[in-house]
Amino acid sequence: MSRLKQLHRRTFLKGAGATVALPLLESMLPARAAEAEKKTAVRMAFVFFPNGCIKPAWTPEKAGENYELSETLAPLKDFQSEFNVISGLAQDNGRAKGDGAGDHARCAASYLTGAHPYKTDGEKIRNGISVDQVGAQEIRHLTPLASLELGIERGRNAGNCDSGYSCAYSSNVSWKTATTPTAKEVNPKLVFERLFGGRDGQNKKREHYRKSILDLVAGDADRLRKRLGRNDRAKVDEYFTSVRETEQRLARFAEIGRQAPKEFAVPEGIPEDLSEHIRLMYDLMVLAFQTDSTRISTFMLANAGSNRAYTQVGVKEGHHSLSHHQNDDAKTSQIRKIDHFLATQFAYFIEKLHSVKEGEGTLLDNSMILYGSGLGDGNSHQHHDLPILLAGRGGGTIKTGRHLKLEKEVPLTNLFLSMLDRVGASVASMGDSSGRLEILNG
């Protein structure tokens, strides 16, 4: 490859105030630097779902390799070789510790921090620093965005939301400091603009003329294509198609919002359909990782204790209400439908990551995606044997395709330490950690 065709990893397309990052291309990886680049570009994401799950339907019966996927995880069958199900992890600081009820707030607050949140009738808050923000502080210099926090339900950081616990605990899993949650964004349009939008004035101008972000950088893009080989041109075209499709979907929902009656206006850029909302957020996370805009993200599929009804799968009662099922078959059947629905959306995300080629592997190969809840069984508010799945090979350092069944209760934060090592943000300890989860290595 000639010197002319070699590109810097931080090459951007620019035009009319807009900036578009590029995915990892062959021409960005001179032979001597290729292996080093692959090892450093490892991403990690943490996906949270509320109210625990129906454990017998989640947990595979057999441990080790060649296990049969459970009912809840069946949507992930095509990618069983790409993830590990991990049984036996716990968040001890999600337990009451003498301060009574409030398990939903505690489960979200402790999920990524391993800390016990301070209960004081919704006023003062004190928690711990979450794993995503520990990582962001260590490697923020490597990417334009230190981290990306996403959600589906809006929340608030003031008031009492769960038995004397501040709403901040229920609404956030990402904590920058012990007293500062990192607010999540629920509007896909605003996430897109954060990744690609440029200045606010340019965003408004682009909307006025219905221009794509790609239209604004077309000249720079044409010049780039002339410098690329065949494989890189195909990869850039595939990436641009993905960006444009995401834009078109966002524009469609914005138009729905403008046409809706005033008494029922859909917020601009937010789909009314839950599946579409979730998948748009997953698509944006893929774009963020694909362009190396950030290597760290969190995603709350709902706030802790959410009582959303999942009518798209025939569940008309609220999720939280159903989670207190007292082993009633009719109610547990409804919860299983919710668990299966959320796993189906996650399978979509894994498929998207797996479809993006990067170096000799895929974007999924260079990622670690944790999917789980801060509660095990929602009915009994268990904070042990949490439903945890870890997808991706962490840059080739994780052996996948297994159900890892731990023999005794192990802090979830032990897994976090091992993940931080792999993104280049090693720390000695965090939360209630007792060591690293070496079983990931195989």
What digits encode the pLDDT tens for the residues 53-73?
999 999 999 999 999 999 999
Range of the domain at 232: 1-40+192-269
Cα distances from 237 to residues 29, 57, 192, 241, in angstroms, run: 19, 41, 19, 6
Of 260, 342, 294, 311, the closest CA to residue 135 belongs to 294
Beta bridge partners of 65: 402
The whole-number pLDDT of residue 208 equals: 45
Verify that 309 and 400 share a domain, yes or no.
yes
pLDDT tens column, 15-48: 766 778 888 887 886 554 444 444 558 999 999 9
pLDDT band for position 413 (cuts 50, 70, 90): very high
**Predicted pLDDT of residue 266:** 42
> Does the pLDDT of residue 201 top 60, yes or no?
no
The pair phi, psi for residue 21, each rounded to 5°, is -75, 160
Same domain for 299 and 392, yes or no, is yes
Is the whole-model pTM more than 0.85?
A: yes
Residue tagged 């926090």 (tokens): 149
Predicted local confidence at residue 254, as pLDDT: 60
Pick from 173, 128, 388: which is nearest to 297 by CA?
173
Q: What percent of the chain has pLDDT over 90?
A: 67
From residue 71, give the alpha-carbon distance in Å to each of 235, 314, 330, 334, 338.
36, 18, 17, 13, 12
Q: Which of 130-134, 188-192, 200-204, 335-339 comes out lowest in average pLDDT? A: 200-204
Q: How confident is the model at residue 395 (pLDDT cuts 50, 70, 90)?
A: very high
Q: Which of 29-38, 91-100, 401-410, 412-421 is predicted with the least confidence, judged by mean pLDDT?
A: 29-38
Based on the fold, state whether residues 173 and 61 are members of the same structural domain. yes
Same domain for 256 and 305, yes or no, is no
Q: What is the pLDDT of residue 37?
A: 47
Q: Is residue 278 part of a domain?
A: yes
- Does residue 176 sit in the same domain as residue 204? no
The mean pLDDT value for 63-88 works out to 98
Both 379 and 430 in one domain: the answer is yes
Q: Do 31 and 57 belong together in one domain?
A: no
pLDDT value for 352? 97
Token pair in block for residue 413: 């934060």
Look at residue 124 in the predicted model and tell me its pLDDT.
82
User: Which domain CATH number covers 340?
Assistant: 3.40.720
- Above 60 in pLDDT, residue 265? no
Same domain, 385 and 364: yes
The strand pair at 361-362 and 165-166 is best described as unpaired
Residue 252 has a pLDDT of: 73
435 and 319 in a common domain: yes
Would you say residue 378 lies in a domain? yes
More confidently predicted of 43 and 248 = 43
pLDDT over 80 at 393, yes or no:
yes
Calpha distance 259→441 (Å, rounded)? 53
**Closest to 136 (Cα-Cα) out of 183, 180, 173, 175:** 175
436 within some domain: yes
What is the model's pLDDT at position 2? 40
pLDDT, tens digit, for every residue of 128-186?
999 999 999 999 999 999 999 999 999 888 888 999 899 999 999 999 999 999 999 99
Give yes or no: residues 26 and 144 share one domain: no
pLDDT > 70: percent of the chain: 87
pLDDT of residue 202: 52
Residue 255, pLDDT > 60, answer no
Mean pLDDT within 105-122: 91
- 197 pLDDT higher than 70: no
**Average predicted confidence (pLDDT) for the chain:** 88
Same domain? For 325 and 436 the reply is: yes
Higher pLDDT, 196 or 150: 150
Q: What pLDDT sits at residue 203?
A: 54
- Total count of domains within the chain: 2
Res 238 pLDDT > 90: no
Task: Give me the pLDDT at residue 210, please.
Answer: 53
Q: What's the helix, strand, coil split of the chain in %, to 5?
A: 45, 15, 40
The pLDDT value recorded for residue 218 is 86
pLDDT at 122 over 60: no
Higher pLDDT, 345 or 271: 345
According to the model, what pLDDT value does residue 91 have? Answer: 96
- Residue 328 has, within 13 A of its CA and on its CB side, a CA count of 10
- In a shared domain, residues 390 and 410: yes
Residue at 325 is within a domain: yes
